[in-house]
Structure 1
Amino acid sequence: MIKRMVSAGARAFLVALVIAMPAMMLPGVTVDNAQMVALLALVAAVLTFVEYFSVYPSLLEFRDAPPYNRMRFLALFVTIFVMCLITRGQMFPTTLTELLTRIGGTVGTAMDFPFSPVHLMVLLAHEDAPIEKINLLRTSAGLAYVVSLLALLVFVVFVRLLNWPIRHGAFNFWVNLPLFDPTAGGDILNRLKRDSHVNVVLGFLLPFLIPAILKSATVFAYEIPLTDPQTLIWTMSAWAFLPASLIMRGVALMRIAELIEERRRRAYAQADLHAPA
């Protein structure tokens, strides 16, 4: 129990750190903003601690199938941390921030071609926005997208080459998919494959749909203040992280479906082998 408590506490601290990172690293944060961020970080930490300290699952998927959640957290952490450094470097430049800005600018420019997701995010900038803000938007979008793609690629390598999730033992379906009801109707194999396809398709479409939704919001309802550093960081992080997370979930569900199908095939073959002639 002590080990589980320490592990849950460490995860809760890291989750709270990610949420509070922009408010901690960026200057000019108001007291009200800091209090709101602290409350959100506390709530997220408590939920994470309860989830991992509990023996039985509740909400989090693939809790005991590393490195699925670790890859997602690491991608989000790196994205937010790098963008915080670049944004802070606009006001307090250092050698590290200048290097990251140069790398991000190169990546963002390379990915800023017509109809690309990065280009669509850059188009969200206001028409009279200064060139520095547009360059920061392009740099942030390029870096966030690349980090998410790298995390997705690494996870696919784990699945296809390192035999995830059964490399270190059996896969517990109930613990790792607590929200999936196997008795809801229909063949579980078909439902897993259907959900996998839906997640992958949504993951590919969201980088294009999110800019369109944000642009529509600026026209008909509310303009997203991307000139605000914290808003920029969280918008870019969500835009890059959510699609990659959905694709990772789709790949994971398809892998589970393949394992179930393989076990069924072996069971049917064994039953045919022992069937009376």
Structure 2
Amino acid sequence: MTLMIMTPSILLPGGGSDGVQIVTLVALFAAIFTVIEYTSASPSLVEFRAAPPFNRLRFGALFATVFALSIIFRGADDPSTFTQFFQVIGERIGTSIDFPYSPVRLMLVMLPATTDAEVVASMRTAAGLSYFVSLISLAVFVLILRRHAWPRRSRSFNVWVNLPTFDPTAGGDVVDRLNRDSQINLILGFLLPFLVPAVFKLTSSFMAPISFADPQTLIWTVTAWAFLPASLLMRGVALSRVAQMIYLQRKRAYAAAVADGMISA
């Protein structure tokens, strides 16, 4: 976690001592939080802590995006074969995804008309590559869910440990609530890549727009834009899977009770 947060500051020149100190502080806080969450018996925020590889896959996609974009922007000041390789891949992916009404095109449309052509090209490359990585991570998660019966393998699924923010006693049927939360996450995950550029465009009309000339600003903005929707989509799929597991377990328990004569059919 610490390495992921500090990657842009390490690979990209400049930034100043104040920026490095802020990044170091954020990285240290994130590392402490992660250690506490994964070592405590009572989790507070991190979901699916005991249901790998859900969080590992999300972190891997986040780290891959930040690292790839940092390498690409490093090539502007320190070009090499390695940076050119990532640059070519990013440009081709960005160009292929940049079609009318696509999320990448909307990210370009939100930029002010006076934006430098080099910044526009950098945004296209960064947005295309980050969005592609998020789609790959989502596809991999769905594949793991189908082929490896995630989240249950050799042990039971603990709802309290894996869903610390979900209160089963809050009222209403648990399965219905999980399915409702799943649908909300799926809808938000699908719409966010389109809504975020529109919000940026709207806010820029009455306040100063964000300058994407700074590579680190562009990296973190585009990474968050691509990662958050993919994370919500994965969470929606995961909650739907948990709801299905609880429903099937209820059916088996009911059938067993009927077979034992404990209740009438």
**d(CA) in 1 for partners of 2:77, 2:104:** 24
**d(CA) in 2 for partners of 1:55, 1:268:** 32
Matched residue, 1:21: 7
Matched residue, 1:154: 140
Matched residue, 2:50: 64
**d(CA) in 2 for partners of 1:55, 1:203:** 30
**d(CA) in 2 for partners of 1:168, 1:273:** 26
Structure 1: which 5+ runs fail to align? Answer: 1-14
Once the two structures are TM-superposed, the CA of residue 131 in structure 1 deviates from its matched residue by: 2.1
What does the per-residue CA deviation read over 1:52-97, in whole Å, with 9 as the maximum and x for residues that have no partner? Answer: 1212222110001000000000000000000000011112111111
What does the per-residue CA deviation read over 1:226-252, in whole Å, with 9 as the maximum and x for residues that have no partner? Answer: 111111000010000000000000000
The CA RMSD over aligned residues, in Å, is: 1.2
Matched residue, 1:216: 202
TM-score of the pair, normalised by structure 2: 0.96
TM-score of the pair, normalised by structure 1: 0.92
What does the per-residue CA deviation read over 1:198-248, in whole Å, with 9 as the maximum and x for residues that have no partner? Answer: 000000000001111111121122311111111100001000000000000
Worse overlay, 257-266 or 121-130: 121-130
Amino acid at match of 1:151: S
What does the per-residue CA deviation read over 1:244-271, in whole Å, with 9 as the maximum and x for residues that have no partner? Answer: 0000000000000010010111111112
Once the two structures are TM-superposed, the CA of residue 275 in structure 1 deviates from its matched residue by: 2.5
Structure 2: which 5+ runs fail to align? Answer: none
The within-5 A match list for 1:99-114 is 99-114=85-100
Matched residue, 2:68: 82
Q: Matched residues, percent identical?
A: 52
Amino acid at match of 2:115: A
1:252 aligns with 2:238: yes
> In the alignment, is the contact (CA less than 8 A) between 2:98 and 2:124 conserved in 1?
yes
**d(CA) in 2 for partners of 1:193, 1:55:** 27
**d(CA) in 1 for partners of 2:253, 2:137:** 35
Question: Which residue of 247, 253, 257 corresponds with 1:271?
Answer: 257
Once the two structures are TM-superposed, the CA of residue 118 in structure 1 deviates from its matched residue by: 0.4
Once the two structures are TM-superposed, the CA of residue 129 in structure 1 deviates from its matched residue by: 2.5
**d(CA) in 2 for partners of 1:173, 1:42:** 29
What does the per-residue CA deviation read over 1:3-37, in whole Å, with 9 as the maximum and x for residues that have no partner? Answer: xxxxxxxxxxxx11111111111101111111111
**d(CA) in 1 for partners of 2:17, 2:37:** 30
**d(CA) in 2 for partners of 1:178, 1:135:** 42
Matched residue count: 263
Matched residue, 2:188: 202
1:131 aligns with 2:117: yes
Matched residue, 2:216: 230
Q: Could you say what secondary structure the match of 2:247 adopts?
A: helix
Amino acid at match of 1:118: V
**d(CA) in 2 for partners of 1:129, 1:181:** 47
**d(CA) in 2 for partners of 1:139, 1:91:** 17
What does the per-residue CA deviation read over 1:148-189, in whole Å, with 9 as the maximum and x for residues that have no partner? Answer: 000000001111121001123211111111110000000001
Matched residue, 1:168: 154
Question: Which residue of 177, 195, 198 corresponds with 1:191?
Answer: 177
Q: Could you say what secondary structure the match of 2:157 adopts?
A: coil
Amino acid at match of 2:247: E
**d(CA) in 1 for partners of 2:36, 2:249:** 34
**d(CA) in 2 for partners of 1:234, 1:130:** 19
